[in-house]
Amino acid sequence: MKTLILTSSGKLITSNKLDYFLPKPISESKILYVTTASNKIPDTSIIEKQKQIMSKLNYIYTEYDITNKSKEELKKVLSEQDIVYVEGGNTFYLLKSVRESGFDEILKEFIPKGLVYIGTSAGSYIASPSIITASWAKDGFDRCGVTDFKAMGLVPFLMQVHYVTGIKKMLEGKVKDLDLPLHVLNDDQAIVVKGETIQLIGGGEEIIM
């Protein structure tokens, strides 16, 4: 059964609230920590802090960059993991790297076999059919030449992360042009997909547009 956990921030990943949804405790799992999206952001302090927390919790993780990797390399490294954790950063650069490496194709092979996918921010966006919502930010990242927003399509809905009430009106205007449901997450929430079941966890109300 496929298992995906899509978060807005990394809080839930280090809060011991995910074990119920995992084949085995996260502290006992081998994690491939994909930090590719941080290659194109000016401040990587959040990623460094997350690594420090995971190390303090004795998580068994390997930091990894999918940029310029071959499908054979990705297959080998993913075959040795229990979880692939795709960190946030520049969604456009991450999607570009996913396409060029074939990372999406390899994930679609391994996730049905039990590899757990965890995404944070950009890592959640690319799991959707499109990253169109990432283009809505006023102060967006360099799009790295990406004009086609089609993403991995691991889940049948779109994502909006880092939700605060101040963007509610913007979302209400944008959502009218979407063909898929939009799941909105604040930084304390996550969506868990187990097979065909979709569940919101964390604090705050569920918002689907």
Structural domains in the chain (count)? 1
Domain encompassing residue 16: 3-208
Q: How confident is the model at residue 189 (pLDDT cuts 50, 70, 90)?
A: very high
More confident residue, 45 or 139: 45
Cross-strand pairs, 64 = 34
- The whole-number average pLDDT for the span 108-129 is 98
Pick from 5, 1, 14, 23: nearest CA to 199: 5
**What sign does the CA torsion over 54, 119, 79, 45 have?**
negative
| pLDDT one-digit tens code per residue, 68-109 | 999 999 999 999 999 999 999 999 999 999 999 999 999 999
Residue 135 pLDDT greater than 80, yes or no = yes
- pLDDT score for 197: 96
What is the CATH classification number for the domain harbouring 194? Answer: 3.40.50.880
- The whole-number average pLDDT for the span 152-163 is 97
Spell out the residues 6+ positions from residue 53 whose beta carbon is closer than 8 angstroms to its own: 10, 14
Classify residue 15 by its DSSP letter: T
Claim: this prediction has a pTM higher than 0.85: yes
Pick from 80, 82, 65: nearest CA to 21: 82
Pick from 186, 124, 188: nearest CA to 158: 124
**Cα–Cα distance between 203 and 22 in angstroms, integer?**
20
Residue 149 pLDDT greater than 80, yes or no = yes
